[in-house]
Amino acid sequence: MTQRTQQAQQTQQTQQTQQTQQTQQAQQAQTGRLTVYADAVTLVRMCRPLWESIGRRHPELAKQLRRSVVNVALNITEGDGRFDGNGRERLKTAMYEAKETRDNLEIAAAAGLVDAAKVEAARRMADSIAARLYRIVGARRNA
Which 8-state DSSP code applies to residue 2?
A: -
In this predicted model, which residue has the larger pLDDT, 30 or 61? 61
Q: Model confidence at 19, in pLDDT bands (50, 70, 90)?
A: low
Q: 31-35, 59-63, 115-119, 127-131: lowest mean pLDDT where?
A: 31-35
Model confidence over 108-140: pLDDT tens digits? 999 999 999 999 999 999 999 999 999 888 755
| Distance between first and last Cα of the chain | 34
Smallest CA-to-CA distance from 102 within 129, 76, 73, 78 is with 129
127 versus 4: the higher-pLDDT residue is 127
Whether domain 31-142 has CATH 1.20.1440.60: yes
pTM above 0.75, yes or no: no
What is the rounded CA–CA span in Å between residue 74 and residue 66?
Answer: 12
**83 DSSP 8-state letter:** -
Domain ranges in the chain are 31-142
Q: If DSSP codes are grouped into helix, strand and coil, which group holds residue 115?
A: coil
Percentage above 70 pLDDT, the chain: 76
